[in-house]
Amino acid sequence: MEETERILFLRRELHRHNHNYYVLNAPEISDREFDAMLAELAELEARHPEMADPNSPTQRVGSDINHEFTQRAHVYPMLSLGNTYNRDDVRAFYERVADGLGGEPFDVCCELKFDGLGISLVYEDGRLLYAVTRGDGVRGDDVTENVKTIRSIPLSLVPGSGYPRRFEIRGEILMPWVSFEQLNVDRAAREEPLFANPRNAASGTLKSKNSAVVAARRLDAYLYYLLGDATPTDSHYDNMRLAASWGFKVSDAMQRAHSLDEIYAFIDHWDVERKMLPVATDGIVLKVDSLRQQERLGYTAKSPRWAIAYKFQAERACTRLRSVTFQVGRTGAVTPVANMDPVQLAGTVVRRASLHNEDIIRQLDLHLGDRVYVEKAGEIIPQIVGVDVDARREEPVGEPVRFIDTCPECGARLVRYEGEAAHYCPNDAACPPQLKGRIEHFISRDAMNIDSLGPETVDAYFSAGLIHDAADLYQIKTSDIAGEDGTRERSAAKIVEGIRRSLDVPFDRVLYALGIRFVGKVVARQLARHFKRLDALRAASLDELLQVDGVGAVIAQSVRSFFANPANADLVARLAAAGVQMQLPEEEQLSDSLAGKSIVISGTFARHSREEYKALIEKHGGRNVGSISGKTSFVLAGENMGPSKMEKAAKLGVPLVSETEFLAMIGE
């Protein structure tokens, strides 16, 4: 088989296996075989740039270029649905429809209401053309690049399955519970604000400017609405089953009901069963099945008359508030926690709830001893959503809950920064949970990975006065921790060896380990790649920091304040003296033909990948920057450069250099 034929063959096969795995849950080959085919395809595509295809299965990994979303108008406006909360409302809907159809018999398609964010996908000749968010219903953001990373959305439909030439299909993008929980665990470890529910997490993810982030977060999608002039049948239900055969993920829960009783049975069944689903649902959607009847019923200004949403009751419990305690985290953020009488809620016993911040305590007008209503936000994190004010008359309550003024751990006066809801303990130099928290972060797996130590050991060494900060770890000797009689010699030696091994951890992870606020793993890597050495990063101006991909004003400012603090400068110096990596390994320099040049890469390329161009720029002494500014020397412009970038370059007089011209510049 010719290589070009092999490319087409692999693409077809990979699209099919992808569909088997992500949509049908019925893989035919192992993950390893899949990865091997994908790797082979990537290699062949690199050799055959003339065969480039934006919908190739290799394009699902996303990229770290910043997409500025362009707006796109919807062909048909994206309306919302009327909401109902009880059976009487459902009956009223059913009767309105019966009336509207003048007694004609009708079926109702019952579906789950997925709690994510609406998306409109347009396909032409079996290929995904673009994906647009709901926006204001009339126009939304073009998020095609991000949507391409969602494996259950087909880039290419099942060949010969009979799909219309051009059509629109709508559905919901969701973050499955497992991905949501893992994401929050990771965010908690970095003391970043948690997402309250999978919908917010999915929405935050889909609007990310970095499609590599989207790819990593594992979103999913269900489709539930086919539009266009060429819908194959008059039945919505049948059309959706056909769409499933074209390659779309359509929920198996869909069901046609012939009576109000069948609708009620569907609601009762799924109100319980939905808790077993891998994704969040918040109700049921009822749609008149016949498209002709839908048209006959028509629309109000906001929503169709032929469909309605029935929302499930959020599970809620009532219990008594006993006390409020305040926890101090690694960054000094103070979180109020409500301690309550234990109560059963959605399958678990709840004793504690986060109160988030002072404003929320005020809004609730919370008093000690209050009877409070607790709900699980996104059914995971318990939250106090209200107070039974009438109960206060029967059983008098205590004092109003007041936020504290001083740190419960070290007594420092708390501060609240402008525009932030949280209070902070500013005593980062001496407040014990902050000091310990920073050491725990330093040794954690994604940072220095010193797994011979854990939070308990850190706590013990800290209390014993053996360590005050991360640099002290490198001064620990076996004799310090082996016990008076040396009985713990072996485990002590293991701990010291684990600490010593961390001296090999590369600079980007060291940078993350320092725990600079807002500098997560990804940003640390970008900073390390850009500045290469800690000295250069420390000396960087705000403007220079802002040139780094993914770094905005908040991060840049945080990096500056970190190094401006003498205690941090001292910590870094002691870590360096201990032998911790403070620079990336030297890379071979090919020439200095791009010395002093700031270069933006945009578009797609035939001869090298974007990553390779980044490396080439650096090897020839230049610097790759994320966005076009007056200081940009030129744009390395490939195919399909975005119109907004093009416009910006023209406005600022930044020249465009083609791929061929660029290769000539560096003598390749």
226: three-class secondary structure by DSSP:
strand
Q: Which of the stretches 73-81, 346-354, 464-472, 651-659 binds ligand IVH when contact is defined by CB under 6 A?
A: 73-81
Q: Which of 209, 475, 170, 437 is nearest to 307 (CA)?
A: 170
Q: How far does Cα 408 stand from its chain's mean position? A: 33
Binding mask of the shown chain, residues 240 to 259, with x at each position contacting ligand IVH by CB under 6 A = --------------------
Exactly one of 111, 141, 145, 544 binds ligand IVH (CB under 6 A); which one?
111
The CA angle 78-81-86, to the nearest 5 degrees, is 170
Exactly one of 14, 109, 221, 285 binds ligand IVH (CB under 6 A); which one?
285
Contact by Cβ (8 Å): 385, 375: yes
Exactly one of 81, 253, 476, 663 binds ligand IVH (CB under 6 A); which one?
81
The CA angle 495-499-504, to the nearest 5 degrees, is 145
CA distance 218 to 175: 7
CA distance 146 to 67: 9
CB of residue 137 to ligand IVH, shortest distance in Å? 9
CB of residue 537 to ligand IVH, shortest distance in Å? 43
Element housing 37 (H / E) = helix 31-47
Binding mask of the shown chain, residues 295 to 334, with x at each position contacting ligand IVH by CB under 6 A = ---------x--x-x-------------------------
- C-beta closer to ligand IVH: residue 285 or 345: 285
CB of residue 119 to ligand IVH, shortest distance in Å? 8
Q: Which of the stretches 78-86, 97-105, 486-494, 640-648 binds ligand IVH when contact is defined by CB under 6 A?
A: 78-86
Tokens of 431: 């407040």
- C-beta closer to ligand IVH: residue 303 or 627: 303
387: three-class secondary structure by DSSP:
strand
Should residue 562 be labelled a site residue for ligand IVH when binding is judged by CB under 6 A?
Answer: no
Should residue 168 be labelled a site residue for ligand IVH when binding is judged by CB under 6 A?
Answer: no
Detail the DSSP E strand segments found in 297-441.
307-311, 316-328, 333-345, 348-354, 371-377, 381-387, 423-424
The CA angle 128-132-137, to the nearest 5 degrees, is 140
- C-beta closer to ligand IVH: residue 118 or 382: 118
- C-beta closer to ligand IVH: residue 284 or 492: 284
Q: Which of the stretches 12-20, 26-34, 77-85, 445-453 binds ligand IVH when contact is defined by CB under 6 A?
A: 77-85
**Residue nearest ligand IVH (C-beta atom):** 118
- C-beta closer to ligand IVH: residue 302 or 445: 302
Residue 116 has what DSSP assignment?
Answer: S
Detail the DSSP E strand segments found in 407-486.
423-424
Tokens of 180: 């949501």
Q: Which of the stretches 76-84, 161-169, 371-379, 626-634 binds ligand IVH when contact is defined by CB under 6 A?
A: 76-84
Exactly one of 94, 224, 461, 462 binds ligand IVH (CB under 6 A); which one?
224
CB of residue 517 to ligand IVH, shortest distance in Å? 35
CB of residue 140 to ligand IVH, shortest distance in Å? 11
CB of residue 94 to ligand IVH, shortest distance in Å? 17
CB of residue 146 to ligand IVH, shortest distance in Å? 17
Cα dihedral angle (633, 636, 637, 638), rounded to 10 degrees?
Answer: 180
Neighbour-count burial of 211, counting CB atoms closer than 10 A to its CB (0-12 exposed, 13-18 middle, 19+ buried):
buried
CB of residue 118 to ligand IVH, shortest distance in Å? 3
Q: How many helices (H) and strands (E) does the chain have?
A: 26, 21
- C-beta closer to ligand IVH: residue 304 or 386: 304
Helices 566-578/553-564 angle, 10° precision? 80
Contact by Cβ (8 Å): 283, 312: yes
Q: How far does Cα 617 stand from its chain's mean position? A: 30
Residue 225 has what DSSP assignment?
Answer: E
- C-beta closer to ligand IVH: residue 224 or 507: 224
DSSP 605-650: -SSS-HHHHHHHHHHTT-EEESS--TT--EEEE-BT--HHHHHHHH
Kindly state the number of chain residues that form the binding site for ligand IVH, as judged by CB under 6 A. 14
Residue 235 has what DSSP assignment?
Answer: B
Which residue out of 113, 249, 287, 645 is catalytically annotated?
113
Residue 593 has what DSSP assignment?
Answer: T
Should residue 80 be labelled a site residue for ligand IVH when binding is judged by CB under 6 A?
Answer: yes
- C-beta closer to ligand IVH: residue 118 or 378: 118
- C-beta closer to ligand IVH: residue 62 or 118: 118
Catalytic residue list contains 619? no
CB of residue 139 to ligand IVH, shortest distance in Å? 15
Should residue 621 be labelled a site residue for ligand IVH when binding is judged by CB under 6 A?
Answer: no
Compute how many other C-beta atoms are within 10 angstroms of the C-beta atom of residue 137: 13
- C-beta closer to ligand IVH: residue 78 or 470: 78
CB of residue 215 to ligand IVH, shortest distance in Å? 23
Neighbour-count burial of 308, counting CB atoms closer than 10 A to its CB (0-12 exposed, 13-18 middle, 19+ buried):
buried
Tokens of 513: 């380990």
Q: Which of the stretches 74-82, 335-343, 515-523, 575-583 binds ligand IVH when contact is defined by CB under 6 A?
A: 74-82
Exactly one of 93, 225, 518, 605 binds ligand IVH (CB under 6 A); which one?
225
Phi, psi of 659 (to 5 degrees): -55, -45
- C-beta closer to ligand IVH: residue 131 or 546: 131
Computed on alpha carbons and rounded to an integer, the radius of gyration of the chain in Å comes to 29
Should residue 172 be labelled a site residue for ligand IVH when binding is judged by CB under 6 A?
Answer: yes
CB of residue 70 to ligand IVH, shortest distance in Å? 22
Should residue 118 be labelled a site residue for ligand IVH when binding is judged by CB under 6 A?
Answer: yes
Should residue 286 be labelled a site residue for ligand IVH when binding is judged by CB under 6 A?
Answer: no
Q: How far does Cα 45 stand from its chain's mean position? A: 29
CA distance 318 to 511: 46
Contact by Cβ (8 Å): 568, 554: no
Catalytic residues: 113
Binding site for ligand IVH (CB under 6 A): 79-81, 111, 113-114, 118, 172, 224-225, 285, 304, 307, 309
